[in-house]
Structure 1
Amino acid sequence: MRSKEREMKMTEIEIQQERISELIKLIQQNPSLKIVPMVDSELGGDDFSYYMGKWGKAEIDEVYHEDERIYFRSYDEEELGEQIFGRLESSNPAWDSPYLEERTKEELDEIKWGKAIDVKIDLP
């Protein structure tokens, strides 16, 4: 049974227990990795000190911090490449597309990604 179908048949507590068990397993297998809790942007607000969320999935990923933004290689690398391309294109209008793509790839290759345990904190 696929994971999504299986989760639909599980209770909320069973899902929570499974996700926490997976997190504990990842921590035990990778004790030197930083744990990065990632809170769904819809959870935040201005009126209260804390907001209730629920445990999302935990997984090993590579991360890169730039200013206030954190990028996850598994799903943000393409967006990061597009940002680099756009920055290079606007600051070097004489460069043609193949050269811009080459320079973008070079900059992406220079990024120092760090491995971490990514833990999603989802909407309840």
Structure 2
Amino acid sequence: MSFTAAERYKFVNKNSGNLLADNSGSLVLFQGADYPDQYWYILDFGSNGYKLMNAFHLGAVIADSNDKPAVFLGTDYPDQYWDIISDGNGAYKFSNKSHSGSVIADSNGNLVMFKGNDYPDQHWLIVASN
């Protein structure tokens, strides 16, 4: 899948159906009504990786903050860059560039960074909005 910088995307956990959202500066999992903070831009920085920027809170990006996924608004840091890895079945894993192998997971409703074996809760559908 190629990503368009001007396109907004939702990140839906393939296992739980939960969405990633920026709830006033906190990265959260959400299921329910459609809200603007559930949409993200995927920005390609070449070999540095991708930044995942919230489309409602512009400038706020997903980062790996001390092994916890978080939303950060401010200075550029290496933990804000991600590899987006296809699982070959229509879903993707978000792997942090500065914490090699550490991926975003929905562990029983808890948003975590996980490093280790592959589990279904690490796979995300990237859904383009029209």
TM-score if structure 1 supplies the norm length? 0.28
Q: Relative contact order (C-alpha < 8 Å, sep 6+): which is higher?
A: 1
Larger Rg: 1
